[in-house]
Structure 1
């Protein structure tokens, strides 16, 4: 239970120490932050460590296919108005990474934790969260992730009877169906630009009707719930009808939606919307995303897009033609090895942009662009792609490991 300050057992202390040592060795070897291997070592020594580390915290879990890292960061900034926060800010969102993050938060009041969609129910069972934010569900990592409705069913079963306040996106039918098993749900009208995973009713399989911003199933009556929080232009509407201006340095409608959900979460912990939204203004980048870096006398904005929904949102952010665009796609373990999702992305929206294509699967992407009728050049390296772009601003859009590769090259 949050507020329980009972000291860790000798076994738990040993597990934490061993985990930190393993993480330090990993960092020294240049293998990343070490949070995952550190957590794995710690959990091997004490399988109940995650639950023990969360006992004194008021925990918020954030899960979704898109937006969870940014939303986690925004919620963390908002809750710092009330006390210390520990968070897995770099996105290590499976049990091992979460355990590593919480091991560094002995003095914190809140734990704001991003959770991979597949692990949400299990982590919620371990940490007894006070609140859970559910943003969206869409296709991702097709070689190993469950079909979206199966993930929704897993959430629905895992959240059934949960004591947590569920803050859920009323515009995503899959999220609504999953959250509806919980007795305490706060509905947020956060929007849903990508709709191609929610045309059939998750409850009965019928065809979903989508008049305007509404949705319903004509066969079983499953329908969009009435939200109490909403994104309206550049403002958040709270349950009392008050409109609060959104203060963000992060770009795009999707981040305004993330801020709206974050404000609803913060309110559940007593942070007023005005305070929460003002604090979110301090966030300029999230794990390198949205950063603008100088390289070869050009300014490169780094944008992460790892699935069709993410690419659709990202296209709405980029400067208009003829701004040059670098597209980078890999298909390594962290990305998912199935690149068939490329055919679900409407790359015709890039018409008029000079495009350079890089990454392990640049030829897969080249075929997709050829079919879309978009002009492009295939480049062997990021440096070559940058050299082929004219001086000025470049938009660089990459999936997960390609994004990391690009950051290493341009020095961010």
Structure 2
């Protein structure tokens, strides 16, 4: 539990100071927040620093392919009702970035930490979390990450016997398989729009049956657990059957699902659903996502979508046709260099929208849209695309580095 004794050795304090100095120098040089380089330097000086920094905190880890940055933010907001929170709110979610974030929160009671899927087991070992939230697993960065079944296996092995309370989405068979090795699991019915990574049973490889919202394997009996928390329309149902209204400034069904999981996590720390959900209303945008910005006399709404599951959810929340849509795709290191995932996205959902295509891989995207029978124009840059857009608010959907490029261009 959180206390006030100082867990930091002189070496650890030196590592923290050096990390902060390097991060400040990186920021001054205009190279971003500096959190990753600062964390790397600090961990070089004290390899046990992450464990030391987490020692006095009640830690929540959040991992998933989609929604982890937003859910981390919602949980952090909810837990502030019970004490000070330190969090890697900007999404630097590997050990160096996490170490940097925790180094900045000496007075905090709670650490709410987003963790890259590949690093979850190691970070859980270092931080001894009280709670771990698992939201979904879907294909992403095919050149970098193991395929989803292997990630689920890594989670399952890494979390086996964990003392943490695991809050897991019972609608995602891969998440259920991963969480089932843990002795203390709270199941949340958060829904799953993208199902194409879970047609075979993660337990035996058999074909998954999916009647309605249920799922089970006809061969080995692996099946959807009974949830104690559930998203039901615009409400969260708690374990007592009470329905609590969700009021968010963030759009879409996916964010209601994130709020349901966040309410279940907050309850582990004694924050009641009503209080947790009221606090979540404060969150307007998350690291630029969902922001509406003025650019060239137009309103642009910035939406991040990094993989097929994310694009599917994003298409469900854009303004109806004929709202213009700008799509931007890069394939740099942070995005994954393989763009074959574009073929898994159902672009027919954009029928009726004027579409404008930009980004490093605009021609890959153009070929995909051509096959989907969509009307689009390829543009050189954001400025040209905005000039060509018909009137009305413009929806701008981009993957990771393309999104950062857009934010720089619009001064967000």
Same fold (TM over 0.5): yes
- Asked if the contact 2:7–2:52 (Cα under 8 Å) also holds between the matched residues in 1, the reply is no
For residues 312-350 of structure 1, what are the alpha-carbon distances to aligned partners after superposition, in whole Å with 9 as ceiling and x for unaligned?
A: 000001001000000000000000000000000000110
- Looking at structure 2, the residues matched to 201 and 190 of structure 1 have their Cα atoms a distance apart, in angstroms, of 20
Shift, 1:7, TM fit: 4.0
Structure 1 portions without partners, runs of 5+: none
Cα distance in 2, alignment partners of residues 292 and 411 from structure 1: 12
Q: Provide the rounded CA distance (Å) in 1 between the counterparts of 2:345 and 2:65.
A: 16
The answer on 1:274 being equivalent to 2:277 is no
Q: Tell me the equivalent position of 2:326.
A: 326
Deviation at 1:8, TM superposition (A): 1.1
- Which contiguous aligned blocks of 4+ residues in structure 1 show a shift greater than 4 angstroms? none
Please say if 1:83 is aligned against 2:83. yes
**Alpha-carbon displacement from aligned partner over 1:106-144 (angstroms, at most 9, x marks no partner):** 100000000000000000000000000000000000001
Determine the structure 1 residue equivalent to 2:220: 220
Who is 1:123 aligned against? 123
Tell me whether 1:392 sits opposite 2:392 in the alignment.
yes
Q: CA deviation at 1:5?
A: 2.0
Secondary structure, aligned partner of 1:176:
helix
Q: Is the 8 A contact 1:3 1:55 kept in 2?
A: no
Name the CA distance, whole Å, in 2 between partners of 1:7 and 1:35. 22
Distance 2:7 2:172 in 1: 42
Shift in Å, 1:4 = 6.0
Gaps of 5+ in 2: none
Structure 1 CA distance, aligned partners of 2:128 and 2:3? 12
SS of equivalent to 1:145 = coil
- Aligned match of 1:15: 15
Question: Which residue does the alignment assign to 1:251?
Answer: 251
Tell me, yes or no, if the aligned pair for 1:289 and 1:302 is still in contact at 8 Å: yes
Match of residue 379 from structure 1: 379
CA contact (8 A) 1:155 1:179 kept: yes
**1:176 matched residue in structure 2:** 176
The TM-score normalised by the length of structure 1 is 0.99
What is the distance in 2 between the residues matched to 1:321 and 1:347? 14
Can you list the C-alpha shifts for 1:237-265, whole angstroms capped at 9, x where unaligned? 00000000001000000000000000000
Check the 8 A contact 2:93/2:116 in 1, yes or no: yes
| Structure 1 CA distance for aligned equivalents of residues 2 and 118 of structure 2 | 25
Aligned-residue CA RMSD (Å) = 0.7
Once residues 326 and 104 of structure 1 are traced to their aligned partners in structure 2, the CA distance between those partners, rounded to angstroms, is 37
Alpha-carbon separation, structure 1, partners of 2:390 and 2:28 = 38
SS state of the match for residue 284, structure 1?
A: coil
**For residue 363 of structure 1, what is the aligned residue in structure 2?**
363
Matches within 5 A, 1:32-47: 32-47=32-47
Q: How does 1:10-409 map to 2 (within 5 A)?
A: 10-409=10-409
SS in 2 for 1:38: helix
Q: Secondary structure at the match of 1:392?
A: coil
Give the aligned length.
412
Question: Residue 168 of structure 2 aligns to a residue in which SS?
Answer: strand
Matches of 1:390 and 1:284 in 2, distance apart? Answer: 27
SS where residue 225 of structure 2 aligns? coil
Are 2:7 and 2:56, in contact at CA under 8 Å, matched by a contact in 1?
no
Q: Distance in 1 between matches of 2:211 and 2:301?
A: 36
Q: TM-score, normalised by structure 2?
A: 0.99
8 Å CA contact 1:297–1:391 kept in 2: the answer is no
Specify the SS of the correspondent of 1:32.
Answer: coil
